[in-house]
Amino acid sequence: MLRQYELVDRVLAYDPDADEDLLNRAYVFSMQAHGSQLRASGDPYFSHPIEVAGILTELKLDAETIATGILHDTIEDTVATPEQIEKLFGAHVARLVDGVTKLSKIEGGLTANERAAENLRKFLLAMSDDIRVLLVKLADRLHNMRTLHFIPSLEKRQRIARETMDIYAPLAERIGLYGFMDELQALAFQQLEPEGYDTVVKRLEGLRAGSGDMVARIASGIRLLLGTGGVEADVRGREKRPYSIWRKLQAHRIAFENLPDVIAFRVIVPDIAAAYRALGLIHQRWQAVPGRFKDFISTPKRNGYRSLHTTVIHSERMRIEIQIRTAEMDREAEFGLAAHWAYKAGGDTSAPARVAYPWLKDLLDAVDQAASPEEVLEHTRLAMFQDQVFAFTPKGELIQLPAGSCPVDFAYAVHTELGDTCVGAKINGRVVTLRTPLANGDQVEILRSKAQHPDPAWEGFVVSIKARAAVRRFVRQQERAELLAMGRKLYDEVVGRLKLPLSEDAVDAALGRLKLADRTALYLALARQTVGDTALLEAVLPGSTANLKPKKRGRSGPKAAISITGLTPGVAYSLADCCHPIPGDRIVGVGRAGKGIEVHSIDCAHLAEPGESEWLDLHWGDETGTGVARVSAVVHNAPGSLAALTAILAHHGANIVNLTLTDRDRAFHNFVVDMEVDDLAHLTNIVAALRATKAVVSVERVKA
């Protein structure tokens, strides 16, 4: 652990005018406040803020920021209050400590998503206030990652590593703090992909062992080349970080041996002219790999990064990456934004709240113009949040929703009942339609009415799972109510045909025979036609249709194939519903768009309709199967009439496929019966038998 004087000396080394007293008081205050608290490592807790302050001195930050590092956990983890901090260390430090505290406060107790979202929001708010808050938080996270292996819980380690990979490393990258980014990624990678990490490290070791001190040899070769060409350069070689190799292995699906650029070299030159000269010398000596040259000096990256990049073919099997930059650019690349925060001798040492640095100004502007935080997200490349939208309740509660969500999604996210009864919404005080997409930062007030129900139309525009499920559930309930009403009607009608008052026991017995749980299930089954009229009659009054079972004809079932000649092979056809042609009828075919050929009997009334296309002359083939004929029968309204009718059909082996009571008065009942018959002759016999029966008044075949 850094001692007090060591820490102060480090700051004085780069900023002789630093507020020594502030640092000393912060050190003592923090040590006393944290008292005997311990870290997971067993070290005194106090060692953590001091190490964080130490990391911040590497960035050569001002005394206020260093003091903030020392004090950053006092409000959160000790009895110290913000008022105390302000009184003792001034408003600037108090505001910074408060900013860092806000970032940490929400950890724990929330789900991963809530925590991440909340963190992000607070981050943006805190960063917009003072970017130094972010620098302290990143140093804090870096030290926590360095000591992560002391935490016993695997789950906790992985959660912290995941958060580091998803939020902190990208933020470090965004502000150009590549040194932090590299280390954060390496530590998180080790935790998240222990096997991957081991593999890459082992392979790197193998590579090193097999090639002797290859890195040093190539580096001195480059130095010699440049020196001969008149460019004084400092050449450093380094292997790529395991995590960056791992990412390349993942992204390119190639073998380790084929992975180019495992070794990278950095060439530090005195000035920009020397950088381009060095590039020329290198390209003359080794062949450049096309497409790999990038000039970030004439066109810096948005985060301010400047350098020349190229990849050359160094030897038969090896390509090496070379970065060429000045010392100043190198420092910027390592410390990013922080490089501009560093004390500059003779410069203005007053607290630089907002530095004039192009990308930072952009970022802060974007945050300031809070209308579009998604722009900030874009900048910070926190891809995990780009499919999210964050909105607020009137009370300021944060609601996280999938992007594209509307007020209905919002209402359901707050409470199911609020969703069910919402009728309108106000976004930022303005009345909007329920399908208005929400934007980040919107404050949403839901207008509700107790009389409202979920509208099936909502399903067309809600995007959240919760809202979608609620609307579907409601629609299903509605459909069920309608089905039940329909089923009840069918039941009354069918059972009414029996002309018998049914006892509860009889109904229960019928339910048992149909293997249905209760009347509701029966109504639904009738409405869905999983239980037909005859099945119900048979269940209620066994034997009433007993003889209706089709006689076994050795064919596969009621809808055996029929063959018709005169059709082009392969053309789809169907027997018309209007005239129900059966084998033996004279038939013709009519083409219907999208339906193939409809087969009608020649005397079907529908054939007379105008605009009908040409008739195809058809004939029944040999494999005639069965047809479904429709007859209309009027019977006396008397007990046993229906039974008499069905008995005849059963006797003749005609399978009833549908039986509908179409009309009834005091004297007569009119049934329409659809029955499977072999052919016209079969039907003619049945009709004759029916006409011969006393119970039957009249029978006609229905052909339209």
Return the active site residues. Answer: 76-77
Q: What's the CA gap between 105 and 118, in Å, rounded?
A: 10
Q: What's the CA gap between 239 and 252, in Å, rounded?
A: 19
Q: x/- binding map, residues 70-109, to Mn ion, per CB under 5 A?
A: ---x------------------------------------
**Looking at this protein, which amino acid is placed at residue 612?**
E
676 lies in the binding site for Mn ion (CB under 5 A):
no
Q: What's the CA gap between 644 and 636, in Å, rounded?
A: 11
Give the count of beta carbons closer than 10 Å to the beta carbon of residue 93.
23
Token representation of residue 479? 């459909």
**Looking at this protein, which amino acid is placed at residue 588?**
V
Residues whose CB is less than 8 angstroms from the CB of residue 102 and which lie 6 or more positions away in sequence, other chains included = 122, 125, 126
- DSSP lists the bridge partners of residue 48 as none
**Looking at this protein, which amino acid is placed at residue 209?**
A
Token representation of residue 323? 């970065």
Q: What's the CA gap between 627 and 620, in Å, rounded?
A: 11
Residue whose token pair is 């499919």: 387
Is 467 in a helix, a strand, or coil? helix
Is 83 in a helix, a strand, or coil? helix
Q: What's the CA gap between 488 and 417, in Å, rounded?
A: 31
Which DSSP string corresponds to 492-518? HHHHHTTTSPPPHHHHHHHHHHHT-SS
If binding means CB under 5 A, how many residues of this protein chain bind Mn ion? 2
Q: What's the CA gap between 229 and 281, in Å, rounded?
A: 7
SS3 sequence, 578-633? Answer: CCCCCECECEEEEEECCCEEEEEECCCHHHHCCCCCCEEEEEECCCCCCEEEEEEE
Token representation of residue 255? 């073998």
Question: CA angle 484-487-490, nearest 5°?
Answer: 155
Q: What's the CA gap between 550 and 37, in Å, rounded?
A: 88
Q: What's the CA gap between 120 and 122, in Å, rounded?
A: 5
Instruction: Show the DSSP H helices in 336-441 as ranges.
Output: 338-341, 358-368, 373-380, 407-414, 416-420
Map the footprint of Mn ion across residues 127-186, applying CB under 5 A. Answer: 140
Q: What's the CA gap between 178 and 180, in Å, rounded?
A: 5
Is 528 in a helix, a strand, or coil? coil
Give the count of beta carbons closer than 10 Å to the beta carbon of residue 664.
16
Give the residues lining the site for Mn ion (CB under 5 A): 73, 140
